[in-house]
Amino acid sequence: MQINGSLQPKQLAAQLQQFWQLSAQKITDIERHYDTAQGAPVFTRQGKYTTRGWTEWTQGFQYGSAILQFDATDDDLFLSTGRGNTVQAMAPHLSHTGVHDHGFNNVSTYGNLLRLIREERMPANEWEINFYELALKVSGAVQAARFTPIRNGGGFIYSFNGPHSLFVDTIRSCRILMISHQLGHVLQGENDVRISLLERAIQHMKTTADFNIWYGEGRDAYDERGRTAHECIFNTNDGNFRSPNAQQGFSGFTTWTRGLAWAMLGFAEELEFLSTIPSAQQHLPWIEKAARATCDFYMQHTPTDGVPYWDTGAPGLARLGDYLGKPADPFNPYEPVDSSAAAIAAQGLIRLGKYLGNDGAQYFQAGLTVLQTLLQEPYLSTSPSHQGLLLHTIYHRPNGWDYTPKEGHAPYGESCMWGDYHIRELALTVQRLITGEPYYTFFNCVK
C-alpha cells in the first residue's frame, strides 16, 4: 500500500455526505423491490440483489444497514424500516443453532438498536430495552453452545461445516458472547453447569490466534507473519490440530483476503473491548500481536490504493506483473479484486490505530487511505439502476458463484450485502470521528 500519511477524517466529509445519499437510494430500492420470499439478499447479479449461499447469514446486514443509515443521517424512515424488520424477521436468527454467524446477524440489528437507545439517539422504552437485551443474551448463549474443546484446554466456536472446523471469520461473532456476558448472562449446560460467555469468547479468540494466524516463527514451511487460513481442521476425537484449509480461498497455504480482513477487524475491536475489562488484561498482549501481524500483512500484500485481490496466492496474479506496485485493477481478465475485504480491513486498521495511539498512526492512516479509495468510482456505485453500494466484491471464487459479464473472464462490477453493510459501518465510524459524536463500538449497547 501507499499510505497517505497526511489524510485527515474531515477531508472525507463531502465524500461521506454523497455516500449516505447514495446509500439511502440503495436501501430504499431493495426494500421496495426485493422479494424476501426467496431468502435474504446475498449478492447482486447484473445490479439486482439475489440470494445464494449455505445459510441465512446476511439478513442482519440488510436490516442493520437501515439502522446505520438512520444513525448517520437522522432520517426516521430508516429507523422505522430497520426496527420494524428486526422485530418482524430476525427472531429465527436468535435461536439458530446451525451457524457461526450470530455476531453478524444479531449485533448488526438488535445490538445497533440497543446502542442507539444507550446513546440517547432514540427514545428509551423499558420494554423495548428488555426485548433487545433478551435477544442479545439468548443469541450469545446459543452461539457459545456451538463449541469444540481442543487438546490444550481451550476450544472454538465451530463453523457450519461441523465440530472439526474453525473459520477465521467467526472471530467477529465473539462480540455477541461479550455483549451477552456484559448483560449478565451465562450459558447454562448439562447439570446446570454455568459457563462464562466471556471465557468462552476468549478461548475461541486464542485458538484462532494460535492456529489461523502465522507469525513468522517457524511453524511450517509457509510461515509468513500475518498470513491467515480461512479454516483450520481439528481431530474431534482427541482435540489435536490437523491442518489449515480453505473453503473460499485458493488454498490453506494462501491467504483469502476477506478472511484476513475479518481477523484484522475482529481482533482490533475485541482488543478495544477487553481493554475495558480488568479481569482480561493478561490477554491483551497476544490479541495485539495477532491484530498487528494481520494488519501488517494486509498493508504489505495489497496494491497501492488499498484494495486487495481476492486471495494473495491466486494463480492468475502471476500474469498481472507488478500488481502490488500499482492500484488494483477490478477489470483485469485474470483474478478479481474484493472490495468487501477492503471495507472490513479498513475498519480494523482504523480501530487498531486508534487503540495504539501515537504508535498506531500508520494503521490509522492506512484505514483512511482505503476508505478514500472506496468512496470513489469505480468502487462507489453511483448508478441508480444498481442496487449495490460497493462494487467489485467477491463471494465464492472457487465455487464460481460470482457473476461474470459476458465480455469478461473474471467477476467484476457486483456488490454483496456484507460489503455494503461494512462500508456503511466504516463510514459511520469515521463520520463520528469528524463530528465528535461518541466513538462507534459494538459494546456501546451495554451500560
Question: DSSP for 152-216?
Answer: TS-EEE--TT-TTEEEGGGGGGHHHHHHHHHTT--EE-GGG-EE-HHHHHHHHHHHHHHHTB--S
Report pLDDT digits (tens) over 66-91. Answer: 999 999 999 999 999 999 999 999 99
Whether the predicted pLDDT of 94 surpasses 80: yes
Q: Which residues contact 284 (CB under 8 A, 6 or more apart)?
A: 271, 274, 275
Phi, psi of 417 (to 5 degrees): -70, -35
Torsion angle of C-alpha atoms 328, 329, 330, 332, degrees rounded to 10: -140
CB 75 within 8 A of CB 69: yes
Whether the predicted pLDDT of 97 surpasses 90: yes
pTM of the model: 0.98
Whether the predicted pLDDT of 41 surpasses 80: yes
CA distance 413 to 401: 14
Q: Is the peptide bond before 378 cis (omega within 30 degrees of 0)?
A: yes
- pLDDT, averaged across the chain: 97
Q: 3-state DSSP call for residue 100?
A: coil
pLDDT level of residue 112 (50, 70, 90 thresholds): very high
Report pLDDT digits (tens) over 409-441. Answer: 899 999 999 999 999 999 999 999 999 999 999
Structure confidence at residue 104 (pLDDT): 97
Report pLDDT digits (tens) over 266-307. Answer: 999 999 999 999 999 999 999 999 999 999 999 999 999 999
Q: Which residues contact 182 (CB under 8 A, 6 or more apart)?
A: 443, 446
Closest CA to 174 of 211, 212, 133, 144: 144
Whether the predicted pLDDT of 408 surpasses 80: no
Structure confidence at residue 141 (pLDDT): 98
CB 353 within 8 A of CB 361: yes
Report pLDDT digits (tens) over 357-370. Answer: 999 999 999 999 99
CA distance 115 to 190: 33
pLDDT level of residue 401 (50, 70, 90 thresholds): very high
Q: Angle between the 76-89 and 59-73 helix axes, to the nearest 10 degrees? A: 160
Structure confidence at residue 407 (pLDDT): 79
CB-CB neighbours of 281 under 10 Å: 11
Catalogue all structural domains in the chain, each as residue range(s) with its CATH number.
9-126+204-230+256-445 (1.50.10.10)
Structure confidence at residue 52 (pLDDT): 85
Which three cell numbers, joined as nine digits, stand for 330?
477490478
Report pLDDT digits (tens) over 220-255. Answer: 999 999 999 999 999 999 999 999 999 999 999 999
Structure confidence at residue 53 (pLDDT): 74
